[in-house]
Chain A
Amino acid sequence: VLAAEWNKDAFGAKSVSDALKSMGASAPVDSKDISIKAPDIAENGAVVPVEITSKIAGTTSIAIMAEKNANPLVANFNLSNGAEGYVSTRIKMGQTSLVRAVVKAGGKTYTAAKEVKVTIGGCGG
């Protein structure tokens, strides 16, 4: 199957709002049915595990953004044929920032965010 063309504008966008616009997902609604599992403090900013679960019925896509990255959009997953509202991956974060999930379901767009701290490290009890 040939994938849809890579969304150059969305991945090249320098802000969350520009990325959302390019994805056709402006003004998403905050949702408590999206949960983001990510560390409070990243063990390594280059490898931050992020797991998104959407309990919104009919979830068809999940996008991940790291708000303070030069290009906030990290990935967009289209789900079909039984794929659950769930993706797990590892992302790069340049600095402490909100990690945002953007979910499309039933033609509407929903969102949730969680802060992940990126630290220099080296201390101890």
Chain B
Amino acid sequence: FALDSKQALAGNIPSNFYELPKFGNVSVMHFTDCHAQLLPIYFREPNVNIGVGASVGKPPHLVGENLLKHYGFKPNTPESHAFTYLNFEQASKTYGKVGGFAHLASLVKNIRAQRPGALLLDGGDTWQGSATSLWTNGQDMVDACKLLGVNVMTGHWEFTFGADRVKHIVDNDFKGNLDFVAQNIKTNDFGDQVFKPYVMKHMNGVPVAIIGQAFPYTPIANPRYLVPDWSFGIQDDNMQKVVDEARSKGAQVVIVLSHNGMDVDLKMASRVTGIDAIMGGHTHDGIPAPSIIKNAKGQTLVTNAGSNGKFLGVLDFDVRGGKVQGYKYKLLPVFSNLIEPDKAMESLIKKVRAPYEAKLNEKLAITEDTLYRRGNFNGTFDQLILDAMMEVKGADLAFSPGFRWGTSLLAGDTITMERLMDQTAITYPTSTLNEMTGENVKAIMEDVCDNLFNPDPYYQQGGDMVRVGGLQYTCNPNQKIGSRISNMMLNGKPLSPTKTYLVAGWAPVGEVKGEPIWDVVATYLRDKKVIKPRKLNLPKLVGMDKNPGIA
């Protein structure tokens, strides 16, 4: 497993960058939130990821130089590029694209060669996020994950393909080689378990329990009608029961494969005992080292493995005398220029894409600026979507959901249909135009803002703030719901609570039919041909001057 030396030299990457000395006797690999990106892409980390209450300045609420300093990394290093937005354009050229399943597959094989029997966990948000996953109903990702050798997975966006589709895949495609686990999904009638809560695996003779925790707020953040008969929720009392049961059945290592989001994981780790590690996702935080959380009976490691196929987490445990004696963790960035792609995976991807290549490669426009999405309040690609909606739909203002998936483009890149679908490929893509009073507009913004900045993590849903086009506002994250949003101004005039406005949006959680958002944005892009740098509509922030979650 040799590095491409020319590339390594250009990026100052040490030749042993991917050498992970073997440690202990139980090893678990973890990727999460790849959002169906089979090929290498660019992905810019956020420069705004605010923590409030007890989370101020603690991982994952550190960005840019604050993150580097916390973990002891230097600027202009491969780690700086992997974990922060710093110098994004230049560094992207130096290190190349990130992720890609063929590259991930080589890395997984390399780790497995050193650690025979190592488990591979998939934290979910795997089947959604690309054109091909949407057009194949998730099948491309299902096949790719089987070829990758995933052992256990849990889910979130998977459920937006509908309960029947998920059940079909789990009962057929996955049967016998991949376990889908979720302790927190029950039927709405008598509260029966829908999936196995956990699975017991063995490595080097050590029993290892992997407990699933699906995204607790799936029927709220995504349409309820897609999973009408299932209930979710955090359910940490049931988590405790499952942990205790796994221990009583001999588990010497207990790992929770979680899609809670990192803040929820940190709180859960402080309340539920007997878990060695919570390996988490959903909030797309690339966290280089585990957070160690103490609780009533010991401690729990909490990790988060970023998004878009950019990282592979490797957790090694030294298990002796029936329990964990030590651990090592590394979150490896997948720099595609440095890794030889796996041939079998490469040909699967090629085959999957073949029928769609022409559609995927349609050139819609050229962008003159970096296009990205991540950040608490807005991203340039979201601004583009907002601008397109307002112009094409003739709206006074526009809302775009605070999704954390979606790839990035460099200045000068072509916006193809594939890159547009990276931002919009969902099973409920309807664009909407509604009449709303100023009071309704404020209520929506307050509601979403509370999902992000409620000081109690169990009230957070893990997305970002709804992106707002056309409307200026002030935001004070430290306030309570109802008082965070103020000074709402539209075209220089205060938003009237009683007046009615035309509001564009997309991704309604109710059943609404209409033009999909990608058609709206494609129309705009084909018309403009060249996308000039956008002015980001950002709120004026109050009380956040010294927050290390803002660069």
Contact = CB atoms under 8 A, between A and B. Distances in A.
Q: When A and B assemble into the complex, do they touch directly, with CB atoms less than 8 Å apart?
A: yes
B103 interface: no
Contacts of A43: 217, 219-220, 224, 231-233
A124 B463 contact: yes
A117 interface: yes
B462 A124 contact: yes
Contacts of A40: 234, 456, 458-459
A122 B509 contact: yes
Bin chain A's interface residue count.
Answer: 10 to 19
Given A37-B237, A43-B220, A44-B224, A123 B232 contact: no
B461 interface: yes
A41 interface: yes
Interface of A is mostly: loop
Interface in A89-109: 96
B404 interface: yes
A125 interface: yes
Interface stretch (B114-122, B344-352, B443-451, B531-539): B443-451
Interface in B394-425: 401-405
Given A44-B224, A125-B462, A125-B463, A120 B443 contact: yes
Interface string A41-70: 111100101000000000000000000000
Contacts, number: 82
A118 to B, nearest CB: 10
Most chain-B Cβ atoms within 10 A of its Cβ — which of A39, A40, A120, A123? A123
A40 B461 CA distance: 11
B33 interface: yes
B51 interface: no
Contact of A122 (B156, B234, B464, B507): B507
A43 B194 CA distance: 17
B219 A41 contact: no
A120 B509 CA distance: 9
B284 interface: yes
A122 B224 CA distance: 10
Most chain-B Cβ atoms within 10 A of its Cβ — which of A39, A42, A96, A121? A121
A71 B201 CA distance: 52
A124 B401 CA distance: 8
B222 A124 contact: yes
Interface of B: 33, 125, 156-157, 188, 217, 219-222, 224, 231-234, 237, 261, 282-284, 401-405, 443-444, 447-448, 450-451, 456, 458-459, 461-464, 466, 481, 507-509
29 contacts: A37-B237, A39-B233, A39-B234, A40-B458, A40-B459, A43-B217, A119-B450, A120-B447, A120-B448, A121-B220, A121-B221, A121-B509, A122-B221, A122-B401, A122-B507, A122-B508, A123-B461, A124-B156, A124-B157, A124-B221, A124-B222, A124-B402, A124-B461, A125-B261, A125-B282, A125-B284, A125-B403, A125-B405, A125-B463
A-B residue pairs, 4 tightest by C-beta: A123-B463, A125-B462, A121-B220, A125-B404
Given A117-B450, A122-B448, A124-B404, 18 more contacts: A40-B459, A41-B217, A41-B458, A41-B459, A43-B231, A43-B233, A44-B224, A119-B447, A119-B451, A120-B443, A120-B448, A122-B508, A123-B464, A124-B156, A124-B221, A125-B261, A125-B461, A125-B463
Interface of A: 37, 39-44, 47, 49, 96, 117, 119-125
